[in-house]
Chain A
Amino acid sequence: MNPLRLVRAEPGPAFTVTLDGREIEALPGQTVAAALWTAGVTSWRGTRGEARPRGLFCGIGVCFDCLVTVNDRPNQRACLLPLHPGDAIRTQEGTGHDE
């Protein structure tokens, strides 16, 4: 069983986005975090202080652990931001401003 089958999902056509230049697939309506999880990625940020890996934590926009750079805009919350075809996701180091 998987979640899509469980709810008998018939999603619109999948589209391609990139993560650090590598192509991954996303489904319409999915957030950055959902697409990254599907691609098996759970970490997409290095912290400002110790450059420790982080990804999603609260899942609802409260904790700001899931920050990521999308289409050159740093500090977007991956758990809230829906993806669009061609979006470029980049692993964010620190504040994302000094890359």
Chain B
Amino acid sequence: MSEPTLAVIGAGPAGLAAGLAAAARGIHVTLIDSATEAGGQFYRQPAPGLGARRPQALHHQWRTWERLRDGLRSHVQAGRVRHLTDHHVWFVERRGAADFTVHALLGPEEEEPAEVRADAVLLATGGYEKVLPFPGWTLPGVVTAGGAQAMLKGGLVLPGRTVVVAGTGPLLLPVAAGLAIAGATVAALVDSADPGAFPRRSRALAAQPGKVAEAARYAGRLARHRVRGLLHHTVVEAHGTERLEAVTVAALDRGGRVRPDTRRRLVCDTLAVGHGMLPHTDLADALGCRVDGSDVYVDEEQRTDVPGVWAAGETTGIGGSALALAEGHIAGRSIAARLAGQEPDPSGWAAAARAREKLRAFFAAVDAVYAPPAHWAEQVTDETVVCRCEEVPAGSVRAAVRELGAGDLRTVKLLTRAGMGWCQGRMCGPGVAGVAGCAETAGRRPFARPVPLGVLARAGEHGDLPEERDQ
């Protein structure tokens, strides 16, 4: 029998840790990612043509990255890992027990098809940023906080000269610090979270001194760059006609409502904004994996409930790069054992399991603190576009609920087209749900990427499907 094969989708911390752990144990790994370089969001690298001699100036935990990068290099040289870049996976086909075909589209244009066969699959596709709508959020100059970070790390460019970083969540700190050290003036860091809520959750925080120190380091950097922190504040409106010129911010009251007497205008050419993260779950969903809320379900070994499919990192729940590494490592070892027909021994990954447990508890506490203001939807005027692709204003969504009786995202979508555009509701889902006052259900998308019809028509042509194909 030939060596067992594993397809890892996503070359971020989770996918890399898993790929290295599995390859070291005799598994033949194909690492597939849409990016041109390994690293994922956290370890996004400058394009090689830019010749960065000190990319670590924009990074944290660079040693960990060096270990992952060198590990990948040596496994690739030894032929144990095949690294496919510029491959956008749109579907994972399960043709039977231990028989998968990963379908991808090649290159940035995503038109040419490619297929990878594997005995097992690891989903390590990470997440993307959630942004809730507010008046002016479609103006050029308003970008996601992670997007500003991605452009800085990957393209070595700044979005503008004077930036306001706003929203809520732990990502805002590294983004504000990154922009400041790279030369932008960060006019303010606006977070709707109430820092007073932290001490009440100090058990989980105290269990993570490293994380607390990390936050303190960012805070120190921001102080050095004289970045003003406006806590328990929110951006009420972004102003401008052709591009962003200023934002209005205001303090929140204890109930999470805007205090009108505190409104003030900050001049800026860029607003980097984010309200937390959402996992990528499309591939898991299409495979039939259980998704709990917005997270792919996994067991202690990082197995989904579909045999042969593992998941690790932010696709199983948002929790940062250290958690992604721990989950990836466990997944890789579990896969190696199972593909060799053995029962894995969890004592082999005890340290990673302990880290996983602590980090999950830590992020549960962090999540509870960093919640968007309770009444954010009240600030969304009827004219505010909520679905960016289909240009659906909040008024239409409200009318669909009030006058046509829509009570869930699907009905709102059918009545207003919100969520029907290019992004398939990825950007507008939480916003539309909030404005409509219905549950934020994870969207079901048959494919993770738009697929040219010609590719779709030819996708089934590779040989006969096995008889016992289960759906």
Residues of A within 8 A of B (CB): 1-4, 6-12, 27-31, 33-34, 37-38, 42-43, 47-50, 52-65, 67, 73, 76-77, 79-82
B28 within 8 A of partner (CB): no
Residues of B within 8 A of A38 (CB): 157
Q: Are A43 and B242 in contact (CB under 8 A)?
A: yes
Tell me the residues in window 414-449 of chain B with beta carbons closer than 8 Å to chain A beta carbons: 421-423, 426-427
Contacts of B41 in A (CB 8 A): 60
Interface residues of B in 371-406 (CB under 8 A from A): 388-391
CA distance A76 to B156 in the complex (A): 21
| B391–A28 touching, CB < 8 Å | no
Do the beta carbons of B423 and A12 come within 8 Å of each other? no
Q: Indicate whether B220 reaches chain A with its CB closer than 8 angstroms.
A: no
* A60 pairs with B147, CB closer than 8 A: yes
- Considering only residues 165-194 of chain B, those with a C-beta below 8 Å from chain A are 181-183
Taking a contact as CB atoms closer than 8 A, the residue among A1, A52, A53, A63 that contacts B423 in the complex is: A63
In chain B, what residue has the closest Cβ to A34? B155
Residue of B nearest to A38 (CB): B157
Q: Please name all residues of chain A whose beta carbon is closer than 8 Å to the beta carbon of B427 when the two chains form the complex.
A: 57-58, 62-63
B158 at interface, CB cutoff 8 A: yes
18 intermolecular pairs with C-beta atoms under 8 Å apart: A6-B183, A7-B58, A7-B156, A9-B156, A11-B49, A28-B47, A28-B50, A29-B155, A37-B159, A42-B159, A53-B139, A53-B140, A55-B141, A56-B147, A59-B149, A59-B151, A64-B421, A79-B150
B55, B108, B128: the one contacting A62 at CB < 8 Å is B128
Which of A42, A47, A62 touches B243 (beta carbons < 8 Å)? A42
B101 on the interface (CB 8 Å rule)?
no
Partner of B51, one of A6, A10, A34, A50: A10
Question: Which of B143, B147, B155, B391 lies in contact with A49, CB distance below 8 A?
Answer: B391
Asked whether any CB of chain A lies closer than 8 Å to the CB of B129, the reply is: yes
Q: How far is the CB of B38 from chain A (nearest CB, A)?
A: 15
Question: What string of 1s and 0s marks CB contacts (under 8 Å) between B108-128 and chain A?
Answer: 110000000000000000001
| Residue B46 CB within 8 A of the other chain | yes
Contact across chains for B50 and A43 when beta carbons are under 8 A apart: no
Judged by a CB distance under 8 angstroms, whether B340 is at the interface is no
Chain B residues positioned under 8 Å from A59 (CB to CB): 143-144, 146-151
Distance between A85 CB and nearest chain B CB, rounded to angstroms = 12
A3 and B157 contact, Cβ closer than 8 Å, known pairs A42-B140, A57-B388? yes
- Is B248 interfacial (CB 8 A cutoff)? no
Counting residue pairs across A and B whose Cβ atoms lie within 8 Å, the total is: 162
Say yes or no: A42 contacts B141, CB within 8 Å. Answer: yes
Q: Which chain B residues lie closer than 8 Å to A81 at the CB level?
A: 108-109
Q: Is B54 an interface residue (CB 8 A)?
A: yes
In the docked arrangement, what's the CA distance between A28 and B467, Å?
Answer: 50
Interface-central residue, B141, B142, B388, by most chain A CB under 10 Å: B388
Q: Which residue of B lies closest to A65 (CB)?
A: B388
> Which of B147, B154, B182, B390 has the largest number of chain A CB atoms within 10 A?
B147
User: In this complex, what residue of B is CB-closest to A31?
Assistant: B155
Q: How far is the CB of B364 from chain A (nearest CB, A)?
A: 25
The answer on a CB contact under 8 Å between B46 and A7 is yes
> Do A3 and B58 have beta carbons less than 8 Å apart?
yes
A29 to B157 alpha-carbon distance, docked (Å): 12
Measured in the bound complex, the distance between the Cα atoms of B155 and A62 in whole Å is: 17
Select which of A34, A52, A53, A56 is within 8 A of B143 by beta carbon. A56
Q: Residues of A contacting B197 with CB < 8 Å?
A: none
Kindly list chain B residues whose C-beta atoms are within 8 Å of the C-beta of A49: 390-391
State how many angstroms separate the Cβ of A64 from the closest Cβ of chain B: 4
**Is the Cβ of A27 less than 8 Å from the Cβ of B50?**
yes
Most buried by A among B141, B144, B391: B144
Whether A73 lies near B109 (C-beta < 8 A) is yes
A67 to B108, CA, bound (A): 12
Decide yes or no: A56 and B151 within 8 Å by CB, A6-B57, A9-B52, A62-B427 being known contacts: yes
**C-alpha gap A73/B52 in the complex (Å):** 31
A59 to B153, CA, bound (A): 11
> What is the chain A residue whose CB lies nearest that of B180?
A1
Provide the bound-state CA to CA distance between A31 and B109, in Å: 13
**B residues within 8 A CB of A82?**
36, 47, 108
Which residues on A sit within 8 Å (CB–CB) of B156?
3-4, 7, 9, 30, 34
Contact B147 A58 (CB under 8 A): yes
Known: A1-B181, A52-B391, A56-B147. 6 other contacts (CB 8 A): A6-B181, A7-B58, A9-B50, A54-B140, A64-B389, A67-B422
B50 touches A4 (CB 8 A): yes
Residues on A with beta carbons closer than 8 Å to the beta carbon of B157: 3, 30, 34, 37-38
- Report Cα–Cα, A31/B36, bound state, in Å: 11
Interface string of B132-143 (1 = CB under 8 A from A): 000000111111
Q: How far is the CA of A57 from the CA of B141 in the complex (A)?
A: 8
CB distance from B267 to the nearest CB of A (A): 16
Residues in A whose Cβ lies below 8 Å from that of B151: 33-34, 37, 56, 59, 79
